[in-house]
Structure 1
Amino acid sequence: MILQLAEAKGCPRDLVGGKAANLAEMISAGFPVPEGFCITTAAYRQILADGAAPLPARLETGIVEAYERLSRGGPVAVRSSSTAEDLPDASFAGQYDTFLGVRGADEVLAAVRRCWASLWSDRATRYREAHDTGHVPGIAVIVQRLVEAECAGVLYTANPVSGKRSEIVVDAAPGLGEAVVSGAVTPDHYRLSGKGEIVEGPGEGCLTPSRLGELAAVGRRLEKHFGAPQDVEWAFDGDGELWLTQSRHITTLFPVPETAGEPRAYWSVNVYQGINRPFTPMGASMIRERQRGMATYMSALGFSDEIVDVDGWLFWDITDGVRSPAKRPKMAAFMDSLAAPSGRLVEQLGRDQRFPSVPPGSDEDTPPENRRRRWDRMIAAWLLPDRARARGVRDAERRIAAFAGPDDATAWQRLSFVESIRGDVCRIEANLPRDANTAGAVGGQLAGRLLRGYVDEAEIAAVFRGIPHNPTTEMDLALWRTGESIRRDDEARRLLLDTAPDELAAKQLAGALPDVIQHGVAAFLTDYGCRATSEIDFGVPRWADDPEPVFAMLVNLLSAEARFESTAAAAETRIVELTRRLPVTKAHRVILARFLLRRSRRLRGLREFPKFCLMRGFAALRKQLLLVGEEIVQAERLGRADDVMFLDLAEVREALDGRDFRAIVARRREVWGREARRPRVPSVLLSDGTVPALESHAGEGDLAGLAAAAGVVTGRARVVRDPDGARIEPGEILVAATTDPGWTPLFLTAAALVTETGGMISHGTTVAREHGIPAVVGVPDATTLITTGRVITVDGSAGTITFGEEHR
């Protein structure tokens, strides 16, 4: 039960814990680590099993003898080494107890007991729950010779704040390093180049340049040895000798694409698509196929042709656009329209010396004949909007009918069908006619110009609340109507409120719910079961696969008002009222503005239609692939059918051909789960790991973003990180990192929307406007700076969030 620290090398973490395992590895590699011993988790587990209050005599004697051999009664450090500590994705820094300057056998034994007890402290338990480590931890204890430190602190081999991999950060203070780690003192702060040169530091600090250089060198050696940037605790003793007391991964750094040569800039596809979790491997492959249909357009803006995948986080290389004075403004406008403040970050990078401008190329504007054809098609759509919309719907239905796939086929035939039709499904958005959709958007813009000086932008935006033919708002309305039917049935309403969503979902699949719920939800899933949260990831289960989120949303909607229908009814009145403000001398403008606003309302809802068609195509292909997965499971090459979503199509073919992918899928699921726990995703990332920060122009104490949907609302914030199962009370303000169509049923009860990313034409803000709620998007760190229950005022016209006076 007691090992010398050096003997812990190669021992399972479940026996010696993370800290001891790392220290033993460092000793083996020749790094200077104070000698010591480890009381393994077997001792802790025996105490638990025996329910022993005093330590067993044999264990107590062993600890005392090891302590006497180590220090002859002198001071030691007694430190925890939990099995859930110093993990690659969770450091557990400061969650378990450490005792320094412990002297004498009785004090050592007491400190060991306190280390064991710290495993179940409130802070450690909460940290484990937040990081979902997935197992009940054990705890070992390390006893080491105490370094009588002249100076001590922490070394980061990459900048933990900016993410920059080529910078080293050192915090140091006289005496023992625990004061720095615990925050008990304000340390000397140094920022070094990768070569150890001082970039920033105090005038008179406790570290000399030579000692900083020594720390930088040992830090780089540790980083190379462990294969990742390190967080290192160190101390210089009175003789000037350097000792290392801990090294672990810096778990907060975001992974970066592998690059060589000049600096590169990347834009997150995850942020652009409104999902705050990594893509599954199958989802990533489908996104690449989808983007091929946009390659020409995106390349003209400065985006790379290929998408880079780093542990499920997908990135476009945007370096060419950042460096091009001609492309950069177009790229920035495009990015901010979908995921602000990405575009403003690109504009800032354009002034960064690391991205020098290149000479203008031969970019050409759209040929005149193409522009004329585009205008001809838009005018036709304005004149006959219903015909234009019907033509687009017919085209889509014809394409979707071809995605259905065979009912009776072998797994090989199903896979071949998916391979043959994948391109058509993934590029359906690009292939559908956009005339009606474009006419709807441009019509509103032209009307705004005609009314300029008499009507402000917020008033025009209000005209487009409750517009028809939008599949996303129609989905929300269908769910609300289902909730209304349930609300009128007392028995069904009580069942919905008193039963957990997962139980309701199981009963739904078994056909065991009251008719009003059973039939209502079944009808909803028939039309919208292809949708889901983070639905752009092909690998994510659809609501038809797992209706639990639908039941959670229904509970939320039992208190919702018929906001959509009321905004739609007021639109015509608003059009007449706004256009009457023009003087009688501008009667021609009145007629044209009314015409364009009315036509725009009838066409603008098609903005969401191509994405809905894509989801229907995804659902059809998922059905075929899951059937293939079932056969591979029967052949014992996958553990479950949806494991196919952690392969690509070529690998699925290999699995059918006999290759066992169970171990590979298990590793990929582990990585996916680890990455999914990241609290946020940077919208723009540099190849050296830097996450560029936006220059803020908000007033003191306030937050600023992009004004995305007009209106002013004051209410209590509700921070939501996952919409599945979330509850938004009427009047609360929804605060989220990002949203996609799977979030929009929450908009029916939310009073306003605040997100960290998003733009004027992103799915979430489009639907927020149509529901008539104010929205401010592109607010950096909103989910951190705003807490649930805090009173805030959201001004969707000015793009600001103001905190209530009681919270200032």
Structure 2
Amino acid sequence: MRTTTIEFDDVVDDRFGGKAWGLAELTRLGHSVPTGFVVTGVSQSSLPDEVTERFARMQGPVAVRSSATGEDGAEHSFAGQYDTVLGVVTPEDFAAAVGRCAVSAGSDRATAYGGADPVEMHVVVQRMVDARAAGVVFTADPTTGRRDLLVIDAIAGLGEALVDGSAVSDHLVLTSDGTQAVRDVGEIPVLSDDEVAQIRAGALQAAAHWGRPMDLEWAVDQAGRLWWLQARPVTTLPGDLNEMDTPVTGATDVYTRCNIGEMMPGAFCPLTASVSGHAIDYAMQMTQVVARAQPRYETPWRQVGYFYGHMFLNMTEGTGLSSGILGNSLEQFSMSICGRVVDELEPKPPKPFADKLVNTVRLTSHALSAGPAIRRLGQQIAAYPIPTGRDAEEILRQLESGVELYCHVTLVHVRSSSRAAVGANVLESYLVRQAVKDGRDESEGQAEAARLMAGASDVESALMVEELHQVVRKVAADDTATGWFLAEAPAQVLTRLRSEPGPGGVALREFLIRHGHRGYRELCMRDPAWAQDAEGLGSMMQAMVQSARDSTGEQPPRRRVDVPASRTVRLLARLAQGGARGREETKSKMASMAHRLKLGYHHLGEVLAASGRLPDADLVFFFDRAELRRVVGDADVAELVHRARQRREALAFQQALEFDDVSVGRPAPILSRAPGTITDDEILGRPASRGIAEGVVRVAKSIQDARDVQRGEILVAPVTDVGWTPYFTVIAALVTDIGSSVSHGAVVAREYGLPCVVNTLVATQVLKTGDRVRVDGDRGLVTRLESN
């Protein structure tokens, strides 16, 4: 291309590079852009007279910036890969600056970033802004992937110190309504609130014009005027983190991660939401229908929400039960879900006594009569055939039939859980009233209830851990087996042990027959169960074998519970224990049905990948069920596949998000958490299993982190589901951010006599691995003794 000059008004596309086009578009938007022009097709040769003459008309120092083809585009930014020269005044310096930009097209850093393919270099020449402040603004957060945030970084003076990292900037994060959610500024802020508002408005206008999140550079001159220096798309974002969100039922509805966060921890793929999320919402809605809190099952979701890839319970929709039945209040409802009174909840109008009586009878009968339905589940699940054919349409029909059965299984589990909650709540309420009556603290009544709950025999999750520990003991008893078991990679040792003819191999095969459908995040359609997760189960067993080899004695026996003297308490304890046993049984059945579906969907993915409909089998988990019908049947699925790939990329960003336990309206991730429940190194939660233990903290925010746990450590986790419980044979105590006395972690902790404190809200934020703490399971108190 011939070297000449082009005015910004004449730049209509990106043929002269993304930087030139971005400035031209900003000018057309009406944004203030410093006067300038484009020099096309530059090289190291001398500049034509027309270019030098155009420079002479600029009258003052200019900035010379590269604008290469492909730079600042939708796919690649090339930020900082090509040269920029500031403060150019003389024609000689101008020619040198243009030549320097031309040379940078072939620099090592640019080649390493964009490859060896040649690029055509153009340069943008603009009058320098006498900047009082300068910086960048992103209309989406490039770090978290959130498109509902706007990020501003600002420094005093020229912006180059921000770009090259030589200066510390003021950092602002704004929510969609302009609120400064994060304000990390110096003693004297670089920007006024009015200037922040101007930058926000201009950036959002640019993003709306381009139709995508933008990265813009700006400067404020000495007179306070805002200038725009550059505009380019943000190239590092994943797919929209909110693309698959369910509608918010009401602007003031209260959502929570409590309870459902134990069953569904972390972020989940869209297929899991469309299968497990749908089943949970169906079961909870049908419970509302039984209690006449709503007339019929409705779509879209009412009881469950799916936001940023995470599952939430809609507590406002759930208050229909507390206002419509006898012996239940808003406070009791919120305590049963969140372990605390949720002040944000507004009660619904109370119903007449006669209606409450009828509703109470209906709901109680629905819960207490679940026994026959529970007993039929095993046969019903076993009768469902896991798809194995090669006809994708037939596989999908079989899976849709399986989802219907899954909804039924989940409803039975909710009935069983309701029965368990009735027993646990009545027992705790009675003992708390007795404690207060005797002049004792409420926490003593709560601790006594937790102690009595430990008396349940044959609890599924506790038996499962015992059986796995039997496998571990058989391996640890054989020095030869222990040697290779600890030396080889986790997946290899599990595969080898499964084929061993000795006692350890036999015990493992029997364990997997009974419990192979269980695992971490077992209701996720994408995450493997233990039977398929050789890496995960192998790592867990290696930690257990090492612990067993290091221990000096036998595993402590399960805690014996003294029989209470009061006949009333004995009766209530038996009711609560039976409920806990039934709840764990139906949770296992629910996991079993989920396991069959995940195997079926994985098979569907393999069939679709083999036929060329999908690029790989794993992508099947990033469609919802309605989209899968299109993937199977439509002629052109390229756009669907592209969106699914973006969702898969977004999942890692969603997984990193954390939420408050309760949100009003659409839940929003936490930007910064101020620990509000810690005073003088004390964290108060809820007692879930009695006893006191001291030890070193191991913070594990994921099951992968837990693989590093050492014998005698205090495990601190956001939440624990059944996949964590085998580690309970290694640790000395358990502390969680959320949970209740009937959560899976609490149930197993009680069976093994582990002190346990749940619902601390902040333990994983406040405590660090290596801290030394005392866990008081009687009072629900965690005290930091030494900081790491």
TM (norm. structure 2) is 0.72
Relative to 1, partners in 2 of residues 1:608 and 1:172: Cα closer, same or farther, differing over 3 Å? Answer: same
Paired residues of 2:468 and 2:511 also in contact (CA < 8 A) = yes
Equivalent residues of 1:32, 1:243 under 8 A apart: yes
Q: Distance in 1 between matches of 2:744 and 2:450?
A: 16
Work out the CA distance in 2 between the residues paired with 1:327 and 1:158.
Answer: 44
In the alignment, the residues of structure 2 paired with residue 466 and residue 108 of structure 1 have an alpha-carbon distance, to the nearest angstrom, of 82
2:587 corresponds to 1:611: yes
The amino acid of 1:670's aligned partner reads Q
Aligned match for 2:643, one of 667, 677, 684: 667
Q: How do residues 217-236 of structure 1 correspond to structure 2 at under 5 angstroms?
A: 217-227=201-211, 232-236=216-220
Q: 2:229, 2:781 → 1: CA distance?
A: 47
Query: Are residue 276 (structure 1) and residue 273 (structure 2) matched?
Result: no
Determine the structure 2 residue equivalent to 1:645. Answer: 621
Question: Given residue 718 of structure 2, which amino acid in structure 1 is its aligned partner?
Answer: A
Q: Which among 734, 743, 760 is matched to residue 753 of structure 1?
A: 734
1:717 equivalenced with 2:733 (yes/no): no
Please list, as runs of the form range in 1=range in 2, the aligned pairs for 1:509-528 lying within 5 A after superposition. 515-516=502-503, 518-528=505-515
C-alpha change, 1:9 and 1:633, in structure 2 (3 Å) is farther
Q: Is the 8 A contact 1:152 1:173 kept in 2?
A: yes
Within a 5 Å distance, the mapping from 1:323-402 to structure 2 comes to 333-334=332-333, 337-339=336-338, 346-347=342-343, 349=344, 360=349, 362=351, 367-368=356-357, 394-402=375-383
8 Å contact from structure 1 (residues 281, 647) kept in 2: yes
Equivalence for 1:772? 753
Select between 720-729 and 257-266 the one with higher mean Cα deviation: 257-266
Match of 2:404 among 423, 426, 431: 423
204, 208, 228: which one pairs with 1:244? 228
Output one character per residue of 1:383-422: Cα deviation in whole Å (capped at 9) or x when no partner: xxxxx98x67633323323324677896555543432342
Residues 207 and 603 of structure 1: is their aligned pair in 2 closer, same or farther, counting only changes over 3 Å?
closer
Contact 1:629–1:643, Cα closer than 8 Å, also in 2: yes
Structure 1 residue matching 2:696: 3-state secondary structure: strand
Measure, in 2, the Cα distance between the counterparts of 1:408 and 1:193: 48
Contact 1:403–1:621 at 8 Å: present in 2 too? no
Matched, 1:553 2:536: no
Correspondence for 2:277? 287
Percent identity between the two aligned chains: 24
Change in Cα spacing, 1:164 to 1:624, as seen in structure 2 (3 Å) is: closer
- Which one of the candidate residues 309, 312, 334 is aligned to 1:312? 309
1:786 to partner: Cα distance = 2.9
- 1:674 Cα deviation after fit: 1.9
1:621 counterpart residue number: 597
Cα deviation digits, residues 43-89 of structure 1 (max 9, x gap)? xxxxxxxxxxxxxxx988799x9x999899968598999x999999x
Any idea what the Cα deviations from partners look like across 1:355-381, whole Å, max 9, x if unmatched? xx6872547687546757988999x99
SS in 2 for 1:716: strand
Aligned AA for 1:717? V
Q: 1:736 to 1:25 in 2, by over 3 A?
A: farther
Deviation at 1:687, TM superposition (A): 5.0
Give me the whole-angstrom Cα distance separating, in 1, the residues matched to 2:252 and 2:469: 46
8 Å CA contact retained: 1:492, 1:514: no
- Corresponding residue number in structure 2 for 1:128: none
SS of the residue 1:427 aligns to: helix
Q: 1:481 aligned to 2:470?
A: yes
Structure 2 alignment gaps of length 5 or more: none
Say if 1:26 and 1:546 are closer, same or farther in 2 by CA, change over 3 A.
Answer: farther
Specify the SS of the correspondent of 1:284. helix
Pick closer, same or farther for the CA change 1:461–1:100 going to 2, 3 Å: farther
Question: Which whole-Å CA distance do the structure 1 matches of 2:732 and 2:71 have between them?
Answer: 41
The one-letter code sitting in structure 1 at the alignment partner of 2:651 is: E
Q: Tell me the CA shift for residue 180 of structure 1.
A: 7.4
Name the residue aligned to 2:717. 736
How far the C-alpha of 1:457 sits from its partner, in A, is 3.4
Distance (Å, rounded) in 2 between the aligned partners of 1:76 and 1:203: 31
What is the CA–CA distance in structure 2 between the aligned matches of 1:555 and 1:321, rounded to whole Å?
43
Say which SS state the counterpart of residue 151 (structure 1) adopts.
Answer: strand
Equivalent position of 1:215 in the other structure: 199
Equivalence for 1:490? 479
Q: Does 1:680 align with 2:657?
A: yes
Q: For residue 527 of structure 2, what is the aligned residue in structure 1? A: 540
AA aligned opposite 1:215: I
CA deviation vs aligned residue, 1:591-621 (integer Å, no higher than 9, x gap): 4434554665465322211111111112233
Is the 1:152–1:177 contact (alpha carbons within 8 Å) kept by the matching residues of 2? yes
Q: What is the rounded CA distance, in whole Å, between the counterparts of 1:36 and 1:155 in structure 2?
A: 24
One-letter amino acid of the structure 2 residue matched with residue 295 of structure 1: Q
Cα offsets for 1:216-240 (capped at 9, x unmatched): 4313303423556767542112455
- For the residue of structure 2 that corresponds to 1:571, the secondary structure is coil
**2:157 counterpart residue number:** 175
| Residues 779, 20 of structure 1: alpha-carbon distance in 2 compared, 3 angstrom cutoff | farther
1:698 aligned to 670, 678, 681, which one?
678
> Structure 1 735/806 Cα, relative in aligned 2: closer, same or farther at 3 Å?
closer
* Pairwise CA distance, 1:551: 0.6
How far has the Cα of 1:489 moved from its partner? 1.9
From the superposition, tell whether residues 332 and 371 of structure 1 become closer, same or farther in structure 2 (CA, over 3 Å): closer
> Which region of structure 1 is more displaced relative to structure 2, 315-324 or 664-673?
315-324
Within the candidate set 470, 477, 490, 2:459 is matched to 470
Q: Matches of 1:330 and 1:162 in 2, distance apart? A: 39
The 1-side partners of 2:201 and 2:586 are apart by 55
Alpha-carbon distance in structure 1 between the residues aligned to 2:358 and 2:179: 60
Contact 2:699 2:769 in 1 (8 A): yes
How far apart, CA to CA, are the structure 2 residues paired with 1:775 and 1:739?
A: 12
1:104-141: CA deviation from partner (whole Å, max 9, x where unpaired):
7699979999x9899999xx9xxxxxxxxxx9999999
* Cα distance, 1:535–1:120 mapped onto 2, change above 3 Å: farther
Contact persistence 2:135–2:159 (CA under 8 A):
yes
Deviation at 1:655, TM superposition (A): 4.4
TM alignment of 1:151-166, pairs within 5 A: 151-153=133-135
Cα 1:272–1:183, aligned 2, differ >3 Å: closer, same or farther? farther
Shift in Å, 1:728? 0.9
Q: Provide the secondary structure at the position in 2 that maps to 1:492.
A: helix
> Which residue does the alignment assign to 2:132?
150
Alignment of 1:267 onto 2:255: yes
- 2: CA distance, partners of 1:23 / 1:717: 54
Residue deviations 1:473-512 (CA, integer Å, cap 9, x gap)? 222222221111111122222222121123345657xx65
Instruction: Measure the CA separation in 1 of the matches of 2:216 and 2:242.
Output: 19
Q: Does the residue aligned with 2:209 lie in a helix, a strand or coil?
A: helix
Q: Give the structure-1-normalised TM-score.
A: 0.71
1:555 to partner: Cα distance: 0.7
Query: Is the deviation greater in 136-145 or in 246-255?
Result: 136-145
